[in-house]
Amino acid sequence: MNFSDTLYESVKDIWNSYYVHPFVRGIGEGTLDKDKFKFYMIQDYIYLLDYAKIYALGVVKAETEEVMQGFSNMVNDILNGEMNIHRSYMKKLEINSEEIKNTTASLANISYTNYMLAVSQKGTLGDVAVSLLSCMWSYLEIGRNLSKIPGALEHKFYGEWIKGYISKEYEKETLWLLDLVNNIAKHLSEKELDRLNEIFINCSKYELMFWDMAYNKER
């Protein structure tokens, strides 16, 4: 059994709650208030800027050229790939760059990114990889779950969001990170694996807080 299987089992109940969360479910059913989605898009855009910085820390912590290239590619994929989904929606929602610059990150947003940055800066390559994994992997699973809802992929507004997170490109990026975590785990002690599992659980809890924040438009 891969270490990622252990990680998944430890957060399965938390992740299952994502799928029925009113914000997430609202995207799949096409019923989510667009004002809530707009709030989310701005906060998530701010989040992704810090998320990309954590991938950049992976370049610093990496011990091989191959892994350095992988993290470097991920930084580019976030800034010029995943964030393109956000930029597309920002045009639809008439969000301009000034509005983003003038928006303060919510407390849940700051708490989450600061936690990931702290464990990544202080820790090992494994800490970096696991802190990043919860967000990336759970979005793939959320996309897969929502794609099963009849008509979700064809929805004229939210369909694009779902398609972005089940795309071959996004799946490939997620599998790269999963493989890296599993390879790192092969050389770690039980104590070190427990620490990585704790980080993964904490980040999964932060993900749930992020969905709550977005739905309730909490500052």
CA distance linking residue 78 with residue 112, whole number of Å: 18
**In the prediction, which pLDDT does 82 show?**
64
* CB-based contact 116:203 (threshold 8 Å): yes
**Mean pLDDT, contiguous 10-residue spans, the chain (219 residues):** 96 98 98 96 93 95 94 89 75 86 94 97 96 97 97 95 93 96 96 98 98 96
Q: Residue 125 belongs to a domain with what CATH number?
A: 1.20.910.10
**In the prediction, which pLDDT does 12 show?**
97
pTM for this model (two decimals): 0.94
Q: CB-hemisphere CA count at 13 Å for 56? A: 10
Range of the domain at 86: 3-216
Q: Which of 29, 99, 207, 218 is catalytic?
A: 207
CA distance linking residue 131 with residue 114, whole number of Å: 11
Domain count, the chain: 1
CA distance linking residue 119 with residue 115, whole number of Å: 6
Please enumerate in sequence order all residues whose Cβ is within 8 A of that of 147, keeping only pairs 6 or more positions apart, or say none. 153, 162, 166
**In the prediction, which pLDDT does 100 show?**
85
Closest CA to 31 of 171, 210, 151: 151
**In the prediction, which pLDDT does 97 show?**
81
**In the prediction, which pLDDT does 96 show?**
84
Q: Is 207 in the active site?
A: yes
**In the prediction, which pLDDT does 145 show?**
97
Q: Tell me the two tokens of residue 114.
A: 């600061």
